[in-house]
Amino acid sequence: MNIVQKGHEFIQERSCLHFREHDPVALARQTNITYLYYTFSEVLESCCLKFYNKPRGRRLVLITPLCKLPAQAGHATLHAMGLHHEKKFGFRDNEAKAVMFPDKCAQRIDALKIFEETLDDLSLQIHSNGR
Ligand SMILES: [Zn+2]
């Protein structure tokens, strides 16, 4: 399992979201579809990067060598989904909840519990090493 898959798993355990892998070429041919596109960088920078810049279509997620933990890949994913935060703070609880629990799901109660206990991991772990 690569770091992107681990990041997805990290989010799925504490949300009602479910990520599915698709053929990027097939997706690019479609209109009216929004998807996350992961790319890997060799630049040693935080994976707390705000590449969210368009409401529809391909949203870039840059995975850097400093993006080592599932929570960090999850953090980058949530930025691409439109979540943001001020530099010194993590994601806001209510905003993160709105993105991560868009609908009801069978695992909602358990996932909410994990979400509330570990929001700091998703939000701040990344910032504890310097940024
Ligand atoms: Zn961030």
pLDDT tens per residue, the chain (131 residues)? 899 999 999 999 999 999 999 998 998 899 889 999 999 999 888 888 776 667 788 898 999 999 999 999 999 999 999 898 988 888 999 999 999 999 889 999 999 999 999 988 888 654 444 44
Q: Which neighbouring-strand residues pair with 38? A: 61
CA of 48 to the centre of ligand 1 (A): 4
CA of 29 to the centre of ligand 1 (A): 30
Q: How far is CA 116 from CA 52, 78, 97, 108, in A?
A: 25, 16, 9, 12
Report residue 9 as tokens. 């798993």
Name every residue whose Cβ is closer than 8 Å to that of residue 96 and which is 6 or more positions away in sequence: 78, 83, 115, 119, 122, 123
Neighbours of ion ligand 1 (CB under 5 A): 48
In a 3-state reduction of DSSP, which class is residue 113?
helix
User: Residue 1: how many CA atoms within 13 Å on its side-chain side?
Assistant: 12
Amino acid at 11: I
CA of 24 to the centre of ligand 1 (A): 25
CA of 86 to the centre of ligand 1 (A): 8
CA of 90 to the centre of ligand 1 (A): 7
CA of 28 to the centre of ligand 1 (A): 27
Query: What is the model's pTM?
Result: 0.89
Burial of 124 (0-12, 13-18, 19+ CB in 10 A): middle
Dist CA 119 CA 126 (whole Å)? 12
Dist CA 126 CA 98 (whole Å)? 21
